[in-house]
Structure 1
Amino acid sequence: MSGTVAVLQRRSSRRDLAAVAVFSGVGLVLGGCGLLPGRRQEIEVAASSGLTDAVVAVGEDHEPRAVATAIGDEFDWDRFTVYTIGTPATTINEESGVVVETGERYSTQEVLYVFHQDGEAVRGVPLPFENLAHGAATWWGPRTQLVWDEERGTRLEDPDA
């Protein structure tokens, strides 16, 4: 009889371990997608009229404009990064800590700026200006300016970089 109990306990232990493994895996997947309570699932991705207007103005009069001034009080931020078409969604979402891109890759024709405040993504801003893609894979700070470049047109410049 004790042999039967030992076999049943072993089977029960294996089932318990398998259940724990399955539920842990589900938890990791849901947590990685931002679907568990307490974790933001996604951020707003919307145009910034102030930033768009500033880019256009720099292209017209070649006078620098501060990104912070252009955004004004639309939202608070302390740094941002730039993503271009073809950037894997996993890269964007992992760096942002939230779901920004739901497809396999960022696939619109616009450059995507993701703004962060205190290490947390707060807003995505698509901009229809390909020349602003040169800042991809770089973190830009609050003193970043839009400046005119004779060769590339409007570009980003950060005095702290």
Structure 2
Amino acid sequence: MVTVLQSRGSRRDLVAVAVFSGVSLVLGGCGLLPGRRGREIEVAASSGLTDAVIAVGEDHEPRDVAMAIGDEFDWDRFTVYTIGTPGERINEESGVIVEPGEHYTTQEILYVFHRDGVAVRGVPLPFENLAYGAGTWWGPRTRILWDDEWGTHLEDPDA
């Protein structure tokens, strides 16, 4: 008889843990648990953007960031973060979880693209020279240019 009661108690405990875990996952996914601030976005390389940066460095012909990204994802502005930027800062400015670590350490720089004020994708790039202008916003007409003094760099005609 005692064994039966322990089995029922164990099942009840198991059900309670399962329900609590399910509620935690839902709340955590919505960003409602302490220490969790919403959805995570994809951080993935853009082959089009990487190819454009390399091409500008080789042939010194300008490339548009928007054309380089093409239809990989929709965006209307972006910002640049350098290696060592506090993850908390990146996440606060992006409004979503981009960097789960204490500091950004994946590549030399991280571009975070936004659409209608919401971060949609992070793009790490290994080109330290494109960190110029970190912390500012770049628009959809931004170009990757070559300059004998600056090398490969960004320029936004609307800035």
Shorter-chain TM band: 0.7 to 0.9
**1:111 corresponds to:** 109
Q: Secondary structure at the match of 2:132?
A: helix
CA distance, structure 1, for counterparts of residue 151 and residue 60 of structure 2:
9
CA distance, structure 2, for counterparts of residue 57 and residue 31 of structure 1:
45
Structure number with greater Rg is: 1
Give a deviation string over 1:98-135, Cα, whole Å, max 9, x none: 00011111123321000000000000000110000112
CA distance, structure 2, for counterparts of residue 73 and residue 109 of structure 1:
23
TM-score normalised by the chain length of structure 2: 0.77
Q: Which consecutive unaligned segments of at least 5 residues does structure 1 have?
A: 1-27
**1:144 corresponds to:** 142
Superposed, 1:1-161 pairs within 5 Å as 30=33, 33-34=36-37, 39=38, 41-161=39-159
In structure 2, give the amino acid aligned to 1:106. Answer: Y
Mean Cα deviation higher: 45-54 or 144-153: 144-153
Q: What is the CA-CA distance between 1:29 and the residue it aligns to?
A: 7.2
Q: Which consecutive unaligned segments of at least 5 residues does structure 2 have?
A: 1-30
Give a deviation string over 1:7-47, Cα, whole Å, max 9, x none: xxxxxxxxxxxxxxxxxxxxx9726622xxxx4x2000000
CA distance, structure 1, for counterparts of residue 117 and residue 144 of structure 2:
23
Instruction: State the number of aligned residues.
Output: 131
Identical positions, percent:
78
Give a deviation string over 1:61-117, Cα, whole Å, max 9, x none: 111100000000000000000000111111100000000011111123321000000
4+ residue stretches of structure 1 with deviation over 4 A? none
Kept in 1, the 8 Å contact 2:82–2:110? The answer is: yes
Backbone CA RMSD of aligned residues: 1.9
CA distance, structure 1, for counterparts of residue 35 and residue 77 of structure 2:
23
